[in-house]
A = this chain, B = another copy of it.
Amino acid sequence: MREGVLYGVSVGPGDPELLTLKAVRVIREADVVAVPDCGGKRQMAYAIAFEYLVGKQVLDCQTHMTGNRVAANESYTRIADDICALLDEGKSVAYLSLGDVSIYSTFAYVQRIVRERGYETEIIPGVASFCAAAARLGEPLCEGSECLVVAPPFSPYIDQVLELPATKVFMKSGRQLNVLRDTLGKRGELEHASMVANCGLPDERVYPRFADAEAPAGYFAVVIAKKTDGQK
């Protein structure tokens, strides 16, 4: 019997209409759909793709948003074990991932383990949440010779990121929104920063002025600070 294939399927940022045709096909054709379950995420990826999941075998994947690397790796190994058992049965598995799989997804960790064990994997790209947030704000991210940088506010290189004359996208900001607001304020960049939380979801909140945003906005807040002409 031929082994199944593991697909990392991007489901986009929230609006079910932002699934790609390919994502819909791969989810429909998959024998099993794996859904990450962590801090409300299960509900999100599951809800976005819900229309295509009716009657499907669903594998719940418990991940842990923890600073503890060992515990996190253990959870990825457990997920990989479950997935490989299905692949051995010849089943194909579609692992759902919010936004685009390549951007801060747990799939990267799971895929690495599964691939190292010799199984075939494939990634279906999708709409990154910061692209959807920019679209919602009606503003481009980069034009001409401009640069774009994407970073979590807790990056060890945040000072270098802030110094770069580029449009800056801050992701995974949830718990650090106030700190980020203070930092941008001190640098005189707050007036050019916007925020979109839960983009495309029923509880979406759009703040053209990040300064006006209420905190906490939840984990899925994207802050976009535009390069200003004043920046050297």
| A77 and B195 alpha carbons, distance in the complex (Å) | 30
- Does A163 sit within 8 A of B, measured CB to CB? yes
Of A53-61, A87-95, A104-112, A182-190, the one with at least 4 CB within 8 A of chain B: A104-112
Query: CA A145 – CA B72 in complex, angstroms?
Result: 14
Closest chain B residue to A121, Cβ basis: B138
Report the stretch among A29-37, A148-156, A205-213 that lies at the interface.
A148-156
Given contacts A149-B164, A164-B157, is CB(A104)–CB(B17) below 8 Å? no
Assembly CA distance A151 to B141 (angstroms): 11
Chain A interface mostly helix, strand, loop or mixed? mixed
Q: Are B127 and A20 in contact (CB under 8 A)?
A: yes
Nearest CB in chain B to that of A231: its residue = B157
- Interface: A47 (CB within 8 A): no
Name A140's closest neighbour in chain B (CB-CB).
Answer: B108
Bound Cα distance from A144 to B168, whole angstroms = 17
Q: How large is the interface on A (under 10, 10 to 19, 20 to 34, 35 or more residues)?
A: 35 or more
Query: What residues of B have a CB within 8 angstroms of the CB of A10 in the complex?
Result: 127, 131
Question: Nearest chain B CB to A218's CB is how many angstroms away?
Answer: 20
Tell me which residues from 6 to 58 in chain A have a Cβ below 8 Å from any Cβ of chain B: 8, 10, 12, 15-22, 24-25
Q: Are A15 and B24 in contact (CB under 8 A)?
A: no
Q: Mark A128-153, 1 if CB is under 8 A from B, else 0.
A: 10011011101111111111111110
Q: Tell whether, in the assembled complex, residue B103 and residue A141 are in contact, meaning their CB atoms are under 8 Å apart.
A: yes
- CB–CB A132/B121 < 8 A: no
Q: Cα distance A103–B144 when bound, in Å?
A: 9
Give the shortest distance, in Å, between A146 (CB) and chain B (any CB). Answer: 8
For residue A126, CB closer than 8 A to chain B, the reply is yes
Asked if A102 is at the interface of the complex by the 8 Å CB criterion, the answer is yes
In the assembled complex, how far is the CB of residue A120 from the closest CB belonging to chain B, in whole angstroms? 10
**A98 contacts chain B at the CB level, 8 A cutoff:** no
Say which residue of B25, B101, B105 sits within 8 Å of A17 (CB atoms): B25
